[in-house]
Chain A
Amino acid sequence: MEAGGDVFWSLFNEFNIWAAIVFAIVMVWLFYNSLKFRSSDNKSLEFESDEFIPGVFPKENDNLKMELTWTIVPFILIVYLTYIAWGPIDEMWSSDPDAHEISMTGNQWYWDIDCDPLRDTAEAPESSVEMENRSATMFYNDNGILICEITTIEVEGQIKPLLRVKADESYGFLLYSNDVTHAPFFLDWGLKEDTQPGMETRLYYTPSMDEIGSSLLMCTEYCGKDHGYMTAVVEVFE
């Protein structure tokens, strides 16, 4: 397993290449200029230098073409990077009306997870109202397949919630908070979104078959004393 989702890694690798190129250019330029154009004895003026006199604004030293070059070329690179960073936004933020909804409520300092937050509400799909096997800790879809289960797991000596979700199913996380700002961080998926009191935020994700396994979920918006212990585990099963 690896922290960060596929979208993260594909962008990250591309950005790394460009970062390495830019950094290499700067370093070569820096070392060339600072070593080649140095004063041999830390005193004498070599090459063509401008002599400074206190109180006298020195001679101009500029070159419009060069300055325009390193305004326009980085700008083009920026436009390109923005363009490639643009595409995945759609993937991160698009909502899926067919997603199975799971609510996660942040509290100081524990997560309340509900596999079936819409039960007993008018928004619950009609077909599922008559369904059996519906409880807050388990949810079976119309075909009777388990797609969400909540149990517990021990993390460093503390009992924490374990959320089990099925690979290749689409999930929508409805995020709420009962007190202050929290943020569930799905380590393996490279996703996080704040939970705000008085506001609903959402996160959509379809775990893939490659992501089968358990990973730790941490709180990544500072929320007070036991912020560091506000963990849970998310398991993707087949």
Chain B
Amino acid sequence: MKNSRALAILSILLFAVVMAPSVQSYPTGISGAQDGGCSCHGQTASSEVVPSLEGLPDELEAGATYTLNISFTGGPSFAENADPTALGGFHLWASAGILAPVDGMVQTNSDGSVTHSGTDKTDSGQGNDQRLWQVEWTAPMEGGAKFILHANSVNGDSTNGGDLWGRLTTDVGPQPAEQASGLTVLASAILLMVVVTLGCLVWVFYRQDPDSFAWERFWPWFSDFITSTDHKKVGSLYMVNGLFFLGVGGLFALIFRIQLATPGNDFLTQDEYNQFFTMHGTTMIFLAAMPMIAGFANWIVPLQIGAPDLALPRLNALAFWLNPAAALLIFAGIFSGQGADTGWTGYAPYIVSHTAHSGATLWVAGQILIVASSTISGINFMTTFCTMRAPGMGWMQMPLFSWSMLIATLMLFISIPAFGIGLIQVLLDRTIGTVFYEVAAGGDPLLWSHLFWYFGHPEVYVVVLPAFGVISEVLSTSARRTIFGYKSMVFALAGIGIVGFIVYGHHMFTSGMSPVLRFVTMLTTMLVAVPTGIKIFNWLQTMHGGSLVYRTHTLWALGFLVTFTLGGISGMYFPAVAMDLHLHETYFVVAHFHYVFVGGIIFGLYSGIYYWFPKATGRMMNEKIGILHFMTGFISYNLVFWPMHRLGIQGMPRRQHTYFITTDEYFALPPEAADWNMLITVAAFMFFASNLILVYNMISSGLRGQKAPNDPWGGWSMEWMVSSPPPTPSHDPSDLPVQKFAEIHGDEEPGFFGRIIQWMMIPEDNGGEEE
């Protein structure tokens, strides 16, 4: 009964979410490379201006030359007060054959298209005094051709204001089979992933008990999963969601890496490229990294602190189910050809300008759901930590993964409201015409940047701290040595948590904000290195005097130490303002944050997957395939991101669909930059493929792996006390485990802060008993 009600509410919510925003899309969708050639006066085509292209034959003769007449009707050029010295202009592009001017009224562009002469208003060309032009077109030796004609109707006042334009597309002769656009490639790949995921689901169901397979039993089994409030099942949903979108985000990256493989490539139009990198960032951070972390937190935290479940299980399920709804919204725009093209940072005033795609509205709406989801799960985890720790487990006796989740949750809880407020303002600006970000109406051009980075920088720590927690658990267990300096690890986590809030200005060194704030955040950003350094040195020292066992999760943890150290060091270059002015918004930044996000977070989480997989499924993972995954992944990962440092120093800007190589005329990127980009693209495909090994390993080991004992790696925290997979409820509520200690602690009594926190909490002795 309860389940069906929840389902009904969910479907109403989904229906409302799908129906509410109205989406506008260009009927023509995204067009091809010729888009860049339109130097039209104004943003959108006008139906008043009707271009015409005459002289094309019905039957095309190969290699023959035709004279084409170009003209247009309508628009300000035909108004009575139009200035005869500037009446109109055109741009004609042909997919094949050769276009050539007949007289001085027409000139050829370097891409082979033709346009009227006198394009510069100050020169004395006559071509823009006309409404009729002639060009010659030599047909190609085989196949037909497509034509795209733009015509400007000009009112003669020497500015673009008041001018109108129209577009005409036509073709002649046999047309080649249409080339798939980047969007089609993406859609097919995502569809394939959905099919494969569903196929895996059915296969997993089948393999559970092949003898009594029956379709009638599939739905009860499946609906039990998706309507469950059990922290383990919600955790699994989070993990599947996170891994799926990790794949989708990777697909985006592969497609735009093809575009960047060579300079001046036209695999994607700039419009598509902008949407793809926006969706890549958004997907990876909000739909992949955060759900995967929430997945780990859901699975491990209650087991680790000795609780039967999370404090608020139904809120937990709600927090998860907001995620797929948000994903639908965020992705809805892109398949209409009008996806968000704002960058994951969604900078105002661009995001509220009319040039931003209409999909940005949906993107903002989806982000608001993510904010809601994070806030709800934040409440849940904080309540759980405060009230449901096992008897005897003080704050300073929590396992480090739990500590890292507590700090991360606190940081998220404090920072994400700023983002939520900004998003709501943007949504109102874009839908009902408020002017929070309209500079002409007195809006502050820097307000969004401040709100976003106040959230955005702590967000980086929110996703990286749980990875720190995983590494602390894995290294300690693998070295079979207590984590070195438990207390300083906790204080370092807290230190990062506090300092993380006052550093965000380093994202805005070039923005023109107050120099005082720039100076202060330069100092504080430098300071973050200290607690981070403490953690790295403590990890290194943990192995000292231990007996390190090399498992796949150990390898990922050691790999994490290498790559995260590099990512941390490259981060030190940005707070030095004089260097940041050069490196800001170049590939050096891209290299740095991928070393932190992939080399830090994803490597940490992979380590966690190999570490806790036996606990979650009751099956050991295949170590040989795991080592293959690590070797291929680690090498190809470094091949992808290490050369980006070099490109950044050479000045290759990020978020651009093309890049410029030095010519005789001007200095830009050195020619070797093209080779490095090709290497990055090839390595990116290898890195993507290496991750498929993990998926294969998870499925095959989950079904056929060796049975796992309760404590396969010899860990000490409470998740290893229960069976693998754990029972439901995870710890028996009537017989909760009691934290014991290997040695007598002198500090059993709570300290100063401990007393304050406990004073604020429900007393532990009567918490959870009065149901």
- A residues with a Cβ closer than 8 A to B are 1, 3-5, 7-8, 11-12, 15, 19, 22-23, 26-27, 29-30, 33-34, 37-39, 42-63, 66-67, 70-71, 74-75, 78, 81-82, 85, 88-89, 91-93, 108, 152-157, 159, 175, 179-181, 183, 185, 187-188, 190-194, 196-199, 201, 213-216, 218-229, 231, 233, 235
Contacts and interface: CB of A to CB of B under 8 A. Distances in A.
Interface in B517-567: 519, 522-523, 526-527, 529-530, 533-534, 536-538, 540-551, 558, 561-562, 565-566
Given A37-B479, A157-B109, A222-B655, A180 B579 contact: no
A54 B586 contact: no
B515 interface: yes
A74 B550 contact: no
Contacts of B353: 179-180, 224
Contacts of B550: 38, 42
B586 A70 contact: no
A40 B488 CA distance: 31
Given A70-B534, A185-B585, A54 B721 contact: yes
B27 interface: no
A68 to B, nearest CB: 9
B536 A26 contact: yes
B584 A196 contact: no
Contacts of A44: 547
A178 B269 CA distance: 25
Contact of A220 (B576, B584, B716, B718): B584
Q: Which 6 residue pairs are nearest across A and B when measured between Cβ atoms?
A: A190-B582, A85-B576, A157-B110, A228-B656, A3-B651, A201-B512
A42 B554 CA distance: 12
A137 to B, nearest CB: 9
B716 A71 contact: no
A58 B742 contact: yes
Given A37-B546, A159-B119, 17 more contacts: A15-B572, A15-B573, A33-B544, A47-B547, A55-B717, A57-B716, A58-B716, A67-B534, A71-B530, A71-B534, A85-B577, A85-B579, A157-B109, A179-B349, A199-B512, A222-B655, A226-B270
B666 A155 contact: yes
Contacts of B306: 55
A225 B274 contact: yes
Contact of A54 (B355, B526, B548, B718): B718
Contacts of B527: 78
B685 interface: no
B446 interface: yes
Contacts of B274: 222, 224-225, 227
B653 A220 contact: yes
Contacts of B526: 78, 81-82, 85
B547 A26 contact: no
B586 A220 contact: yes
B111 interface: yes
B529 A74 contact: yes
Contact of B537 (A8, A70, A228): A70
24 contacts: A3-B582, A15-B572, A23-B566, A30-B562, A39-B547, A47-B546, A49-B545, A92-B578, A93-B515, A175-B512, A180-B347, A181-B350, A191-B582, A193-B510, A193-B512, A196-B439, A199-B512, A216-B667, A220-B585, A223-B350, A225-B270, A225-B355, A227-B274, A229-B270
B666 A215 contact: yes
A197 B439 contact: yes
B725 interface: no
B569 interface: yes
B755 interface: no
A57 B668 contact: no
A115 B353 CA distance: 29
A53 B482 CA distance: 12
Contacts of A225: 270-271, 274, 341, 355
A198 B667 contact: no
B547 A196 contact: no
B470 interface: no
Interface in B422-479: 439-440, 443, 445-446, 477, 479
B276 interface: no
B656 A218 contact: yes
B512 A196 contact: yes
